[in-house]
Amino acid sequence: MFSGRKILVGVTGGIAAYKAAEVVSRLRKLNAEVRVAMTKSATEFIAPLTLQSLSTNPVYVEMFNEPKLWNVEHIALAEHIDAVVVAPATANIMTKMAIGLADDFLSTVLLATHAQIFVAPAMNHAMYHHPAIQANLAILKDRGVQIIGPATGFQACGTEGDGRMSEPVEIVESLARFFVGSDWLKGKKALVTAGGTQEPLDPVRYLGNRSSGRMGYAIAQALQEAGAETILVSAPANLATPPGVSRVSVQTALEMYEAVLARFSEVDVVVKAAAVADYRPAFQAEQKIKKDGSNLTLELIPNPDILAELGRKKTSQILIGFAAETENLLTNAQNKMIRKNVNLLVANDVTKPGAGFGSSTNIVSFLFPDGRRIDFPQMSKLEVGRHLVREIAGLLGVETKE
């Protein structure tokens, strides 16, 4: 799975930097093409020559050295790698990543690359649990960075606890799991809907809902990671389009209906994660509705049911629906799964802490027409998306054993 893969190993200034040599060595033995970028402080712990010898490639330290590649060096490297693993990842580098600071070669590459990033934290137990570091970790997870470890045990400073860098074999296994899944949906085309639709009342007001779009965007990223050509049909959302994903922007339920139906015949998978308005105003005022002190009555008419329409029209497509409920979760979700003729339904209770709209995490259950159910603990929405991709691959007949 590593043959032909281009992997950048980032090494930062911690005592665990010596373990980077084994990470590089293991990756090379598995036929990966390895590049190494070091911070200046990392060179105090391990010599660049060691990592150059193991990787058989020049080691990058200085931002303005004579270029080793034809392009602006850090940009060229960022565009030609399949994954980055920062091991060890100090508190300093993770903070830079969280705030977008690029003040050396490695941090600049991390900001410029679209490749999957892994970090293996390594620091004192107390540092690891500092609120600032935990907040930065949450930011990185929300952006799709995969965190490896840390491990628990004796630390160089004499304390004991979590904060040790994971062992090189575990780091390489994490990369292997990622690359195993990166080909699951190669050659397949997927469409994801995301965000909350907006139904205009007048030029300044609309009927909407609390959806942030985070779940749909995370699923689109997970599908893209798995090799699928991914289209994201998005209602208004203040989120960056995942790298490699094609975005189609819509506002209303009718616009989303038209965008999805127009593309349905050409895709293999549809994931309907958007919160689509069930109703829209029967009349849209051309000018702002003025307040005059009297009651205002709005007439609402139903929007088309996109998921139900797809369920009627599907032939070979895999159709995934969502049920965001506030009561009787399983009963309502199972009824919806049958009515909408989906292959899998993702159910969540949006009243639970950590599972509501706008949260970076979710707590879901996967329901299947054959009666199977998989319950998941609270996890990031990207992790939910990756679990969903595994199930989609299985529904498509793809072997997903690691």
Give catalytic residues, as residue numbers.
157
In 3D space, the residue among 277, 278, 276, 183 whose CA is nearest the CA of residue 227 turns out to be 183
Query: How far is CA 279 from its chain centroid?
Result: 31
Tokens at residue 261, please? 């139906």
Helical pair 168-181 and 381-395, crossing angle rounded to 10 deg = 50
Dihedral in degrees, nearest 10, Cα atoms 387, 391, 392, 398: 120
Q: Work out the number of other CB atoms within 10 angstroms of the CB of residue 6.
A: 15
Give the residues across from 118 on adjacent strands.
85, 146
Tokens at residue 268, please? 């293999």
Cα(267)–Cα(281) distance, rounded to whole angstroms?
32
Half-sphere exposure of 247 (CA within 13 A, CB side): 19
In 3D space, the residue among 373, 388, 274 whose CA is nearest the CA of residue 329 turns out to be 373
Q: What is the CA radius of gyration of the chain?
A: 24
- For residues 386 and 220, the answer to whether their CB atoms sit within 8 Å is no
Which DSSP symbol is given to 397? T
